[in-house]
């Protein structure tokens, strides 16, 4: 599904150059849910931005569904890969209603039955019709994140990149969103690449995970191994102890 | 229950039932918050009055603004038939003020159409595209900003010839750079936000992002800025008129009227003062309106 091989991502030029990701490699299988864990600034979100083309300076190999990615992303790519952002308060246009957000997305992907699809998407993320014409300031954080998830689902992608989708939400709402994501994955056969600094969230959502530190992947392990506290790298052990 | 709903409840609902409903509801809520600002309402009423006066000028003006009566020149305030007196050629000042409202509105409307649109285009393109485009466009803006406004307008009018259209053009050419600056600054903060990244991930091109996603957020702060600048624009037009480079006699432009009255200001003060008061009132009204609009439209202040 997704193959990342020796990925380097950096920002700035020459003396200002900052290497955010150094030599990252991992493989995600079809239908798998893969977690990226690490503290702030360890480069986990940057990997997602490099995959989607939002971080333009990178080297290495990225393969999505057998297609080698170059530096230019095509429309077909966005029909395969979509992303949900961390902060639902920043990821929705303040002057666009839910209907406009979803309608424009569907229009851009060339769907014709936009009205029916907007209705369906809102039902799928558990919002329902009464939210259709509201503006973001009339929604709570959890409701906004549901709209953002609906937007990501609109082009019917196969791979969903989740950038700490619950870290900006209340604990009770976090559980709702995580359950929604788990249900959607089961019903649509999605593949997830989920970034989080919360080991319990990753433990709940993912099959395997990679631990990142200072832009490098220090260890890839299964969630079962994580549960059995069998992490081998000292930093993963440290992270695990901190979250217990 | 839908039948018992009043119009007000329908407009204030949190659950709009259609696109039109949501739009009307947003507008009504903006109007409610605007209405609670007394000073802004005063400004709005003055401007509505100005528009009505300009439209109905032939009906309400007591005299023809161009008819001279040299026997009755420089009549004082409260003269029979000439409430605000007459000027040096015996023309009724009130009638000239009423017809002058048309010219003022004409100038304001034209400048408001040209300058912010030009500024918005230059600013958002520079801010969004960045790199060389940004550098070139912003240096051009800097060059225009470096000239004193009235001097640049004078140079344009001198080159193009005196007249009201050229004065408007000159004022517009000197008024757009600040709008470009504002639009660029707004664009820089907007373009790195998540909702722009999100629409990029749907494959939207730069044209769509600038016109549909960045413009709606820039326009509100530009509208506020334009209303606040209107006073300055009216004054610049009056200044050009005063210097004899804007509206030409016998056109009843307010600045030109002050200029004419200047010669008699010591003995016949009302000839220059009455158009001065008109300029002052309209400028003040625009400032009050702009202040109120800022409270309603500024996305950063609300929410």
Paired residues of A64 in beta bridges: A2, A67
Using the beta-carbon criterion (under 8 Å), do B19 and A137 form an inter-chain contact? no
Contact between residue A155 and residue A105 where contact means Cβ atoms under 8 Å apart: yes
Question: Which residue range is the domain that position A74 belongs to?
Answer: 2-243
Which residues does B contribute to its contact with A (CB < 8 Å)?
Answer: 14-19, 21-22, 26, 193-195, 197-204, 212-213, 216-217, 299, 302-303
pLDDT for residue B298: 63
Number of domains, chain A? 1
User: Has residue A193 got a pLDDT over 90?
Assistant: yes
Written as one string, the DSSP assignment of chain A is -EEEEEEEEEESSGGG-EEEEEEEEEEE-TT-EEEEE--TTSSHHHHHHHHHTSS--EEEEEEETTEEP-SS--HHHHHHEEEE-S-TTTSS-TT--HHHHHHHHHHHTT-S-HHHHHHHHHHHTT--GGGTT--GGGS-HHHHHHHHHHHHHTT--SEEEEESTTTTS-HHHHHHHHHHHHHHHHHHT-EEEEEES-HHHHHHH-SEEEEEETTEEEEEEEHHHHHTT---SHHHHHHHHHH-
Residues of chain B falling short of pLDDT 50: 1, 300-303
pLDDT digits (tens, 9 = 90+) for B83-134: 788 888 888 889 999 998 998 888 888 988 899 999 999 999 999 998 899 9
Which residue, A84, A88, A62, is CA-closest to A73?
A: A62
A133 in contact with B, Cβ within 8 Å: yes
CATH number, residue A53: 3.40.50.300
Q: What is the ipTM of this complex?
A: 0.86
Hey, are the CB atoms on A109 and B217 less than 8 Å from each other?
no
Vertex A86: Cα angle to A85 and A90 (nearest 5):
80
Task: Report pLDDT for B1.
Answer: 46
**In sequence order, what E strands does chain B have?**
none
Q: Which residues of A touch B14 (CB under 8 A)?
A: 134, 138
Let me know: does B190 contact A90? Beta carbons within 8 Å. no
Q: Which of B21, B194, B303 sits opposite A137 (nearest CB)?
A: B303
Helix (H, G, I), strand (E, B) or coil at B37: coil
Q: Structural domain boundaries of chain B?
A: 46-297
**What distance in Å separates residue B201's CA from the closest CA in chain A?**
6
Given the DSSP bridges, would you call strands A58-64 and A67-68 parallel, antiparallel or unpaired? Answer: antiparallel
Nearest partner of A119 among A110, A129, A111, judged by Cα: A129
Which residues of chain A neighbour B22 with C-beta distances below 8 Å? Answer: 97, 99, 133-135
Q: Token pair for residue A165?
A: 């989708």
DSSP secondary structure string for all residues of A136-202: GGGS-HHHHHHHHHHHHHTT--SEEEEESTTTTS-HHHHHHHHHHHHHHHHHHT-EEEEEES-HHHH
Q: What is the structure's pLDDT at B302?
A: 44
Residue A152 has pLDDT above 90, yes or no: yes
Q: Are B62 and B81 in contact (CB under 8 A)?
A: yes
Residue from B28, B191, B198 to probe the interface with A (highest A Cβ count within 10 Å): B198
Q: Judge contact between B226 and B278, C-beta under 8 A.
A: no
**CATH class of segment(s) B46-297:** mainly alpha
A12-51 residue pLDDT tens: 888 888 888 998 999 999 989 999 988 888 888 899 999 9
8 A C-beta contact, residue B86 and residue B75: yes
**Interface contact A148-B198, CB threshold 8 A:** yes
- Contact state of A92 with B22 under an 8 Å Cβ cutoff: no
User: Rounded distance, CA B259 to CA B255, Å?
Assistant: 6
Higher pLDDT, B69 or A122: A122
Q: Which long-range contacts (CB under 8 A, 24 or more apart) does A100-106 make?
A: A101/A147, A101/A151, A102/A147, A102/A150, A102/A151, A102/A154, A104/B199, A104/B202, A104/B204, A104/B212, A105/A151, A105/A154, A105/A155, A105/B199, A105/B202, A106/A154
Is the CB of residue A233 less than 8 Å away from at least one CB of chain B? no
Residues of chain B with Cβ-Cβ distance to A133 below 8 Å are 15-19, 21-22
Q: Which residue of A has its CA nearest to B197?
A: A54
CB atoms under 10 Å from CB of B6, counted, come to 8
pLDDT at B257: 86
What's the pLDDT tens digit per position in A1-13?
Answer: 889 999 999 988 8
- Considering only alpha carbons, which residue of chain B is nearest residue A153? B202
Nearest to B194 among A87, A134, A155 (CB): A87
Confidence of residue A244 (pLDDT cuts 50, 70, 90): low
């Amino acid at each position: 599904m997704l193959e990342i091989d020796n990925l380097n991502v950096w920002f700035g030029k020459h003396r200002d150059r900052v290497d955010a990701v150094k030599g990252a490699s991992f493989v995600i299988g079809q239908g798998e849910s893969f977690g990226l864990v690490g503290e702030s600034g360890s480069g986990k979100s940057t990997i997602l931005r490099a995959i989607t083309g939002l971080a333009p300076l990178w080297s290495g190999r990225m393969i999505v569904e057998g297609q080698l990615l170059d530096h230019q992303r095509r429309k077909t790519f966005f029909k395969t890969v979509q992303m949900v952002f961390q902060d639902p308060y920043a990821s929705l246009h303040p002057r666009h209603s839910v209907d406009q957000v979803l309608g424009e997305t569907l229009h851009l992907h060339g769907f014709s039955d936009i009205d029916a699809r907007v209705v369906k998407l809102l039902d799928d993320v558990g919002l329902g019709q009464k939210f259709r014409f509201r503006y973001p300031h009339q929604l709570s954080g959890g409701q906004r994140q549901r709209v953002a998830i609906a937007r990501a689902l609109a082009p019917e992608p196969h791979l969903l990149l989740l950038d700490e989708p619950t870290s900006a939400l209340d604990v009770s709402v976090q559980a709702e969103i995580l359950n929604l994501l788990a249900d959607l994955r089961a019903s649509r056969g999605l593949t997830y690449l989920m970034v989080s600094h919360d080991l319990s969230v990753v433990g709940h959502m993912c099959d395997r995970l990679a631990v990142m530190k200072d832009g490098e992947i220090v260890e890839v392990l299964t969630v079962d191994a994580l549960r059995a506290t069998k992490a081998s790298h000292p930093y993963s052990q440290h992270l695990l102890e901190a979250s217990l | 229950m839908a039948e018992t709903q009043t119009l007000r409840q329908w407009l204030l609902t949190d659950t709009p039932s259609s696109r039109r409903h949501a739009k009307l509801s947003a507008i009504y809520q903006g109007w409610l918050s605007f209405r609670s600002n007394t000073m802004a309402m005063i400004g709005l009423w003055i401007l509505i009055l100005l528009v009505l006066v300009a439209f109905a000028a032939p009906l309400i003006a007591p005299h023809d603004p161009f008819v001279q009566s040299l026997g009755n020149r420089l009549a004082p305030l409260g003269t029979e038939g000439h409430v605000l007196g007459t000027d040096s050629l015996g023309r009724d000042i009130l009638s000239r003020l009423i017809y002058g409202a048309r010219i003022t509105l004409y100038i304001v409307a034209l400048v408001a159409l040209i300058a912010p649109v030009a500024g918005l285009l230059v600013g958002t393109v520079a801010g969004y595209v960045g790199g060389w485009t940004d550098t070139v466009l912003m240096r051009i803006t800097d060059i225009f900003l470096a000239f004193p406004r009235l001097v640049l307008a004078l140079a344009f009018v001198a080159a193009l010839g005196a007249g009201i259209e050229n004065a408007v053009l000159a004022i517009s050419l000197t008024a757009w750079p600040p709008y470009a600056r504002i639009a660029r600054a707004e664009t820089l903060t907007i373009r790195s936000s998540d909702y722009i990244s999100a629409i990029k991930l749907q494959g939207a091109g730069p044209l769509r992002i600038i016109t549909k996603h960045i413009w709606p957020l820039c326009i509100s702060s530009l509208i506020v800025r334009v209303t606040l600048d209107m006073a300055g624009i009216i004054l610049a037009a009056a200044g050009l008129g005063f210097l004899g480079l804007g509206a030409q006699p016998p056109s009843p432009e307010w600045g030109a009227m002050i200029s004419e009255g200047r010669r008699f200001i010591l003995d016949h003060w009302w000839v220059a003062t009455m158009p001065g008061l008109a300029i002052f009132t309209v400028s003040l009204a625009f400032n009050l309106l702009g202040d109120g609009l800022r409270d309603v439209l500024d996305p950063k202040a609300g929410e």
